[in-house]
């Protein structure tokens, strides 16, 4: 189990390249949505004042 996890993470020696790309895609999308959502709530609360 632990061994298969480590082969999964290593990605046949391409681990660093592969995980970087997936992390970039996840971080970019999550960051944008969180950022936009925060700004939306901020504007919404200012609108109500």
Partner 1 sequence: MWNWLHQLASPPCFNRFVAMLLPWLAAAWLTTFMIGLWWSLVKAPADYQQGEGYRIIFIHVPAAWLSLFIYVVMASVAAIGLVWKFKLAPVFTAASAPLGAAFTALTLVTGSVWGKPMWGTWWVWDARLTSELILLFLYLGYIALQNTISDVRSRNQAGAILLIVGVVNIPIIHYSVEWWNTLHQPASIMKFDSPSVHPQMLYPLLLMAISFKLFYGTALLLAMQCILWQRQRGGNEYA
Residue tagged 């109500």 (tokens) = 48
- Residue 11: which residues within 8 A CB-CB, separation 6 or more? 17, 18, 19
Footprint on this chain of partner 1 (rule: CB under 8 A): 8, 11-14, 17-18, 20-22, 24-25, 28-29, 32-33, 36-37, 39-40, 43-44, 46-47
DSSP state of 14: T
Q: Give the shortest CB-1-to-partner 1 separation in angstroms.
A: 15
Q: Give the shortest CB-2-to-partner 1 separation in angstroms.
A: 17
Q: Give the shortest CB-47-to-partner 1 separation in angstroms.
A: 6
DSSP state of 21: H
């Amino acid at each position: 189990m632990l061994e298969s996890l480590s082969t999964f993470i290593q990605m046949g020696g391409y681990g660093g390249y592969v995980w970087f790309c997936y992390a970039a895609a996840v971080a970019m999308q999550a960051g944008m949505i969180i950022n936009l959502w925060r700004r939306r709530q901020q504007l919404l609360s200012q609108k109500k004042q």
